Amino acid sequence: MNWKKKSLIFNPCDNTSGWITNYASLPVADFSEENTLRIYFSTRDQNGRSLITYLETDPECPENIHYIHGSPILDLGDRGTFDDNGMMPSWITTHDGIKYLYYIGWNPQVTVSYRLAIGLAISRDNGKTFERHSMGPLLDRSADEPYFNTAPCVLKTNSSWIMWYVSCTGWNIIKGHPEPSYNIKYAVSRDGINWRRTGETCINYDEFTQAIGKPCVYYENSIYKMIYSYRRTDNYRTNPDASYRLGYAESVDGKIWVRKDGEIGISLSDSGWDSQMIEYSTTYKYRNTRYLIYNGNTFGKSGFGYAVLES
């Protein structure tokens, strides 16, 4: 793979819409019309709580933004529910004219920093408005996965729905601060709502990798291809050598993956908005060209930009 970096699409600090002033994290690309790309993302309110909104742009030149939505698409959950303190988009799947927005719900914790779970919102008007499927999450911690689940990617096949998601395997205190480790696991469903976790680990740790986040999977040339974020757990907030970068893997069946991180073809820039980390990607194809949208420094505080896959 060889990705050619093009441009920063959206910097929340430069935004003039009036209500988005910091962070544009976890971009999720979706076509609202044939020639209109809608990018969902999360921003933060004055209390640091994440909320989901979107912008619309030109899919061929996504830095040419046409519209920025003027409010969150969903309110925070009721007090005590899994998403009462933050929501972030992770994936959109369209089936039979209905858009399924799989999102991340946040809760603060006492002994660790946070707890995450996977929620679902549904749109029947082409993504303009969404309603929660339920007040509770689709996937949460369980007997076999006792820490948290988050950041799903969902594909609809001819016979079933497939989910790759992030599963926390534990917390460690590093320099006085609790840090999680997490890998990517696999689940299946008949309807996109009721999920069976298989326990299979798709992308696991290695000598460098101690946390693997936000899988982005597409099916091409009879192969499942996954782009994901990975990092260490120590000094990753400040040290680019330990921080998030993008990895790549391939699979024939979607379950057993071969990591090919050296073939991802994109790395940190020498300077600028993505010189310290690159993470949380989404991809789409337009007029036979594949595009990659991703976050840069400080987990989306510098916004998101894009690259184009060269032949």
Using pLDDT thresholds of 50, 70 and 90, give the confidence band for residue 20: confident
Domain boundaries of the chain, sorted by first residue: 3-309
CB 286 within 8 A of CB 293: no
Rounded Cα–Cα distance for residues 81 and 79 (Å):
6
d(CA 39, CA 28): 5
Average pLDDT of 62-73? 95
CA distance 128 to 99: 10
State yes or no: pLDDT of 17 exceeds 70: no
Share of the chain above pLDDT 90, in %: 94
Q: Please give the helix or strand (H or E) that residue 280 lies within, else none.
A: strand 279-286
Block residue for tokens 């840090």: 179
- Are 40 and 52 a contacting pair, CB within 8 Å? yes
Q: Rounded mean pLDDT of 31-59?
A: 95
What mean pLDDT comes out for the span 11-31?
87
Q: Tokens 């009462």 belong to which residue? A: 84
∠ CA 226-118-40, nearest 5°, is: 65
Q: Three-state DSSP class for 1?
A: coil
In the predicted structure, residue 159 carries a pLDDT above the cut 90: no
- Find out whether 266 and 252 touch, Cβ atoms under 8 Å: no
Structural contact between residues 28 and 92, judged by C-beta atoms closer than 8 angstroms: yes
Of 2.120.10.80, 2.115.10.20, 3.20.20.70, 3.40.50.620, the CATH number of 3-309 is 2.115.10.20
Residue 311 has a pLDDT of 78
Residue 19 pLDDT grade (very low, low, confident, very high; cuts 50, 70, 90): confident
Give tens-digit pLDDT for 97-155.
Answer: 999 999 999 999 999 999 999 999 999 999 989 999 999 999 999 999 999 999 999 99
Residue 269 has pLDDT above 90, yes or no: yes
Mean pLDDT of 280-303: 97
Q: How far apart are CA 282 and CA 268, in angstroms?
A: 17
Provide the β-strand partners of residue 212.
230
Q: What is the mean pLDDT of residues 258-285?
A: 97
pLDDT at 274 over 80: yes
Output the six-digit token pair for 302. 């510098």
